[in-house]
Structure 1
Amino acid sequence: MKKTFLLFFILFIAVSYGQDKIFVATKLDSTALVADNFMGYDQFGFYYSIKNNVLSKRKKDESFEYKNISLGRPTKIDVQNPLKIMLFYENFNTIILLDNQLSETQKINLSENDVPIMATATGIASQNRLWIYNSLTQQIGLFDYLKNVFQSITPSISGSIKYYQSDFNTFQWIDNNLNWYSCDVFGKISSLGKVAFFDQIQIASNQYIIFLKEGKLYVQDLKNKTISPIENVEKSFKNFYYKDQILSIFTNQGISNYKISIP
């Protein structure tokens, strides 16, 4: 079954896309890290990771930790704003906001909201708001965490979310049929194309994605319909993270950072 699926994946690439380019990564440095998962880094050079349900923020000799015994392991961690870090605990329908020292500033139990909410996707948005996908209505909305007000901004979305990623102004998701969509803060939904089969994935821009399949990293250009391999990176790793032309590979030994030029 696995060989059949791999053959289908290779044929999909060969028929649907070109492969006339190879992305060669240049190794910059390595950092030792013992963790279960690497979550990314911020503009101040702090690395975020999870080990035994504890969120750690580290840089050289400076470190902070956050653990919530009653909620357990967070489902999603958003570190795009180092002054307002978001932890989402899907099993408890709860969001925790932390400051830059990982001290808890706000706990939001969405089950107590006046508007019924069952969140399955969340993220930091602009203007003191959070992105929320409400599975009860299958709508994307914005939650003002200062006023405790939630507003849906889209009609119901067909299909389920396989992967999602957000920034201050957009919420992007890939559904189970591998269709890629983007929604802005006004509720406008755009279709960005169809992505390749993946084991792990990260959206690099509105045109490019990086994905892992069968232990190999690729860059998919949806505008020009190409899928290109990434060479000169670790062959075995737990997960990867891409930001500002830096590809970070997390292995059992730590983090290896590579320079890679994706337009």
Structure 2
Amino acid sequence: MRLTSLFFFFISIVVFPQKTIKTSFVKKTKLKAESIVSVTKSSNYTSLKYIDNQTLFLKLNDSIIYNYSNVQLGDITSFDAFSPLKIKLFYRDFNTVVVLDNRLAETDKVDFNVVKPYKNVSHVSTGFGNKLWVFNQDSQQLELYNYKTNQVSAKSLPIQSNLIDLKSSYSSCWLLTESYLYKYDSYGSLIYKIKNENYTTIALDYHDNILLKSANNLFYLTDYNQTIAPIEIPKLLIKQFLVTRGSLYIYDNEFLHEYQLIKD
């Protein structure tokens, strides 16, 4: 009898799809930017970091209070503001990461061209303290690298598929390839992998849950059981998206749209 119950339990997982996650519109704000870096809200202010004309801006409410640019390093390839006190800008053409504080003042510069052994890095994301998750293109491995001590504390097995995106929290790292989505812990051990169903971008939510983009659609991956649910949003261009404590932000190249995620 117990075997029969288990059989129907697993069948129910296959037959019934994950429930759609609904959204509630909050507001939209006109904005001209190349990329949105982060949005932080409180009862008193809204802090927005964005990149335009290869310059990182910090806007508090409606006033730009800080900015940072480094024309010598060329275009900003990617950015990571998971730690607001250690913002990372990656300049792939020069194989270099710049670390900024919360006032966008430069505190560190990591030039992988002079690191020994040399690292040919294609993707960078934040780690705990002075550590960076970096993807070594020559070895095809994910490394947890301490840029103060020049030591690698964790390393994955070689990845057999082209890397698309890389995101991380202090304790975990997600690596999206053309074949699979991988999650690693801070020791470089694989926690799980999921077949990539045409996903192209990752965004982090809290409790290690993540959002995935496929074409012009968004999906929510719940970490503890690895279920993926579609997110119900209006039809609009998704140039970029991010999520902060249940608030979903979608930039369509003209407006920054804010929605609240509604999860049962």
TM-score class, shorter-chain normalisation, is 0.7 to 0.9
Aligned to 2:256: 255
Structure 2 segments unaligned to the other structure (5+ residues): 1-13
Aligned to 1:98: 100
Structural mapping, 1:21-32, within 5 Å: 21-32=19-30
Whether the 8 Å contact between 2:184 and 2:192 is mirrored in structure 1 is no
Cα RMSD for the two superposed structures: 2.6
Structure 1 segments unaligned to the other structure (5+ residues): 1-15
Query: Could you report, residue by residue, the CA deviation over 1:202-240 in whole angstroms, capped at 9, with x for unpaired residues?
Result: 354788543344433344568475543413x35234211
Aligned to 1:165: 167
Q: Distance between the aligned counterparts of 1:201 and 1:129, measured in 2? A: 20
Whether the 8 Å contact between 2:164 and 2:200 is mirrored in structure 1 is no
Q: Secondary structure at the match of 1:91?
A: helix
Aligned to 1:188: 189
Distance 1:93 1:151, change over 3 A: farther
1:75 equivalenced with 2:82 (yes/no): no
Whether the 8 Å contact between 2:34 and 2:52 is mirrored in structure 1 is yes
TM-score under structure 2 length normalisation:
0.81
Compute the displacement of 1:46 (Å).
Answer: 1.8
Q: Distance between the aligned counterparts of 1:66 and 1:207, measured in 2? A: 30
Q: Distance between the aligned counterparts of 1:235 and 1:30, measured in 2? A: 12
Q: Secondary structure at the match of 1:112?
A: coil
Whether the 8 Å contact between 2:78 and 2:91 is mirrored in structure 1 is yes
Q: Distance between the aligned counterparts of 1:244 and 1:236, measured in 2? A: 23
Greater alpha carbon shift after TM alignment, 32-41 vs 102-111: 32-41
Letter in 1 for 2:182: Y
Count of paired positions: 246
Query: Could you report, residue by residue, the CA deviation over 1:97-142 in whole angstroms, capped at 9, with x for unpaired residues?
Result: 1111111111111110111211112112113211111112222222
Letter in 1 for 2:174: Q
Whether the 8 Å contact between 1:18 and 1:225 is mirrored in structure 2 is no
Aligned to 2:247: 246
TM-score under structure 1 length normalisation:
0.82
Aligned to 2:131: 129
Q: Distance between the aligned counterparts of 1:122 and 1:139, measured in 2? A: 12
Aligned to 1:211: 212
Aligned to 1:119: 121
Compute the displacement of 1:250 (Å).
Answer: 1.0
Compute the displacement of 1:74 (Å).
Answer: 1.2
Whether the 8 Å contact between 2:23 and 2:231 is mirrored in structure 1 is no
Q: Distance between the aligned counterparts of 1:59 and 1:82, measured in 2? A: 14
Identity of aligned residues (%): 22
Distance 1:42 1:130, change over 3 A: farther
Distance 1:133 1:215, change over 3 A: closer
Aligned to 1:84: 86
Aligned to 2:55: 54
Q: Secondary structure at the match of 1:230?
A: coil
